[in-house]
Amino acid sequence: MADTINLTTTTTSSTLEPVFSFLAQALTTLETTFYKLPGSAVIQRYVKSSHQNDPGRTILELILVVFAIRTLLQSRTRADRTGSHFIQFNKKEIDELVDEWAPEPLGAPLTPSEQYDLHALPIVAGQNGVKPKLVSTGKTAVNLASLNFAGLAGNEYIKERAVETLRKYGLGSCGPPGFYGTLDVHMDLERDIADFLGTEASILYSQGFSTVSSVIPAFCKRGDIIVADRGVNFAIQKGIQISRSTVRWYDHNDLESLEAVLQSIEKDRKKRRGPLTRRFIITEGIFERDGAMVDLPKIIELKYKYKYRLLLDESYSFGAVGRTGRGLTEIYNVPASKVDMLIGSCAIGLCAGGGFCAGSNIVVDHQRINGPSFVFSAAMPALLAVSASEGINIFRSTPSIFETLQENVRAARAILDKVEYLTIPSHPASPLIHIQIKPAYSPAASTSNALSSPSSSSSVGTPAPLSPPPSTAGSLHPVSAAMLTPTKHTRDHHEKLLLHPEVIEAEERLLQEIVDECLSQNVMVTKAKRLRGQENVEARPGLKLAISAGLTRKEIEKAVGVVKAVCVKVLGRRK
């Protein structure tokens, strides 16, 4: 069907002439019959007057019709042969080219160190939780790696409820939410989340990681403006990439830089007098990349001042901080309704599965039709939804969990903050604690001479520099930021050095040594795993500790003590 029409469009326009004359004739007959209809005069007058009031609208409608017809007729498979770069080959030449062509391998093998890291991964035998048994050692270890902030993993009551749900619903939902995949338990969980946070509604996605990368393209389209923190997590980066919106980055967790960007956009807009576009600020509550926490009230103030919408990813703060685990809005006592799209993870915060986006009814309903991974993916298993609901119930009934958690975090920080060799970019209240090697003790310090020769430093393409952590906030200042906040050349150079691939590799090896050594002392920790070369801004290597409320203070102190001792041993040896 479409093909035949496509054919006619590609032939010369002369064949279309009779069609045009026919069309004109048809139009006139249509017009006369239209006038014969009773009441047509009213419509005619109406159209005329509306045309007078708003001629642009008529044109718009016309364009719309033309556009609709065009999309109808356009075949999606049409080859791009018309481009000026097309070279004509004959059959034999093509055959030769086909024979000559040799593709690269689909996947290059891992490097030895990647392979080593993959094999060194701790694998839990049986139930994961605060003290899992490991396959490699056969012993139980204290778990500072798995995300189990509130200690819900292995909760007997949740397990019981999960079994009950299994016996009512089976396991899989066997369909996307639009087509008989929406279960009552999904709606219950959506309501529970919205009530818990204090928003109008919420929507469930079947994977935490895919939530934000689906929410962003549901709202942000080509031409919209996104102002985002340079240090946002990978899922947000991908969401921004796929949205095709115009992105402006501001320095990691630096709200002055944010305001500067907002101002410059405002100036641009005034100058250009373009149409009003949707504008979004996208940031995280607790940053996955370093555990820093955003100053929510300040961001909200800026968002209202410059009329932006705020998308806040609370994947690592929901169920982790706040008096009852509601996340940043609770810490700062900001109504959650002021955050336009609040994203959280039921997999991380509630030890179940999936993610959610909470917001107004309009925001939520829009995603039910436009969120790619909501529309095109099966709904989450019923028993995970019920487990998540039970998690929220536990938060409501036993807020003491979060007191315990904060105590544990404080205990851990009290030990770690004192270690000479380490920097900790994480917020003091964050149960996600990143540990990095202090620049002075980094292999960069010793290799600096070797690497600072002009030839090698100029070859550093991808990695962006990192500012030495200022007393409190963020830790990354990418290259282009230099224009906004001029940094001294020497410092710049030093930062670049820390993110030199060789330095990163050397630090990774040291950290892996720490991980292995901790494991042999039955403390499970993990490096912050990264997709080097694929991230927006390279992060410094580090360890990622996840503190749980399920451990007692004593246990935390003991386990973190082990980490400290190992760090001192491994890093101190180098001096």
Partner 1 sequence: MALTKPSTPSIFKKKSTTSLSPMASAASYLSALSQADARAREQMNGSPTSTPALSISSSVTSSSEDTVLHEEDDNRDGLALPARPPTSEQVFTTVHTEFGHCANEKFRMTSQHTRGEPVPGHVDQDPPYYILLSTYISYLILIVLGHIRDFLGKRFRASSYHHLMPRDGYAPLNSDFDSFYTRRLKTRMDECFSQPVTGVAGRTIVLLDRMSPDYNHTQLFTGTRTRALNISSYNYLGFAQARGGCADAVEESIKRYGVSTCGSRLEGGSSDLHTISEALVAKFVGMEDALISSMGFATNSTFIPALVGKGCLVISDELNHASIRFGVRISGASVRMFKHNDMKALESLLREVISQGQPKTHRPWKKILVIVEGLYSMEGTLVNLPAIIELKKKYKFYLFVDEAHSVGAMGPHGRGVADYFGINPRKIDVLMGTFTKSFGAAGGYIAGSKTLIDRLRVHGHSGPYAEAMTPPVLIQVVASMASIMGVKPPQPHASSGGLRLTHAPPPVEEEYHHPGPAPHSALPLWLALPQELSLGTEGATRLRRLAFNSRYLHNGLIKLGFITYGHPASPIVPLLLFNPGKMCMFHRMMKDRQTPIIVVVVAYPATPLVTSRVRFCVSAAHTKEDIDTILQACDEVGDVLDLKHGIPRSERWTIDEISSRAVELAGMMK
Ligand X SMILES: Cc1ncc(COP(=O)(O)O)c(C=O)c1O
Residue 213, interface with partner 1 (CB under 8 A)? yes
173, two tokens: 């939902």
By CB under 8 A, the residues from 170 to 189 that bind partner 1 are: 170-175, 177-185, 187
Closest to partner 1 by CB, 473 vs 523, is 523
Residue numbers at the binding site for ligand X (CB under 6 A): 376-378
Residue 543, Cβ neighbours under 10 Å: how many?
A: 24
Closest to partner 1 by CB, 234 vs 332, is 234
Q: How far is the CB of 452 from partner 1 (least distance, A)?
A: 30
| Residues 193 and 385: beta-carbon distance below 8 Å | no
Residue 457, Cβ neighbours under 10 Å: how many?
A: 13
Residue 195, interface with partner 1 (CB under 8 A)? no
Closest to partner 1 by CB, 76 vs 554, is 76
Binder of residue 181, out of partner 1, ligand X, none (CB less than 5 to 8 A by kind): partner 1
Residue 568, interface with partner 1 (CB under 8 A)? no
Residue 546, interface with partner 1 (CB under 8 A)? yes
Contact code string over 300-319 relative to partner 1, x by CB under 8 A: -------x-x----------
Residue 135, interface with partner 1 (CB under 8 A)? yes
Q: How far is the CB of 216 from ligand X (least distance, A)?
A: 18
Residue 440 burial (10 A CB sphere; 0-12, 13-18, 19+): exposed
Q: How far is the CB of 71 from partner 1 (least distance, A)?
A: 9
Residue 295, Cβ neighbours under 10 Å: how many?
A: 14
- C-alpha torsion sign, points 166, 167, 169, 174: positive
3-state secondary structure of 283: strand
Query: Applying CB under 8 A, which part among 11-19, 99-107, 395-403, 464-472 lies near partner 1?
Result: 99-107
Closest to ligand X by CB, 377 vs 448, is 377
Contact code string over 371-410 relative to partner 1, x by CB under 8 A: -xx-xxxx-xx-xx--x-----------------------
- C-alpha torsion sign, points 180, 181, 182, 185: positive
Beta bridge partners of 544: 434, 526
Q: Starting from the edge strand earliest in sequence, which strands make up the sheet with 526-527, in order?
A: 422-423, 432-437, 543-546, 526-527
Distances (CA, A) of 409 to 46, 380, 486: 70, 32, 35
Query: Applying CB under 8 A, which part among 95-103, 256-264, 417-425, 454-462 lies near partner 1?
Result: 95-103
Binder of residue 335, out of partner 1, ligand X, none (CB less than 5 to 8 A by kind): none
Q: Given the structure tokens 């642009």, which residue do they identify?
A: 56
Q: How far is the CB of 529 from partner 1 (least distance, A)?
A: 4
Angle at 363 between CA 359 and CA 366, to 5 degrees: 145
Closest to partner 1 by CB, 183 vs 416, is 183
- Residue closest to ligand X when measured from CB atoms: 377
Residue 99, Cβ neighbours under 10 Å: how many?
A: 8
Contact code string over 11-30 relative to partner 1, x by CB under 8 A: --------------------
Give the count of residues interacting with partner 1 (CB under 8 A).
130
Q: Starting from the edge strand earliest in sequence, which strands make up the sheet with 309-313, in order?
A: 201-205, 355-359, 341-345, 309-313, 279-284, 225-229, 246-250
Binder of residue 238, out of partner 1, ligand X, none (CB less than 5 to 8 A by kind): partner 1
Residue 524, interface with partner 1 (CB under 8 A)? yes
| Residues 120 and 516: beta-carbon distance below 8 Å | yes
Strand pairing of 432-437 and 543-546? Answer: antiparallel
Binder of residue 396, out of partner 1, ligand X, none (CB less than 5 to 8 A by kind): none
Angle at 437 between CA 435 and CA 439, to 5 degrees: 135
**Type of residue at 526:** T
Whole-number Å distance between alpha carbons of 310 and 302: 10
Query: Applying CB under 8 A, which part among 34-42, 74-82, 318-326, 409-417 lies near partner 1?
Result: 74-82
Closest to ligand X by CB, 378 vs 482, is 378
Q: How far is the CB of 553 from partner 1 (least distance, A)?
A: 21
Contact code string over 263-282 relative to partner 1, x by CB under 8 A: -------------xxxx---
Which of residues 202, 233, 317, 436 is near partner 1 by CB under 8 A? 233
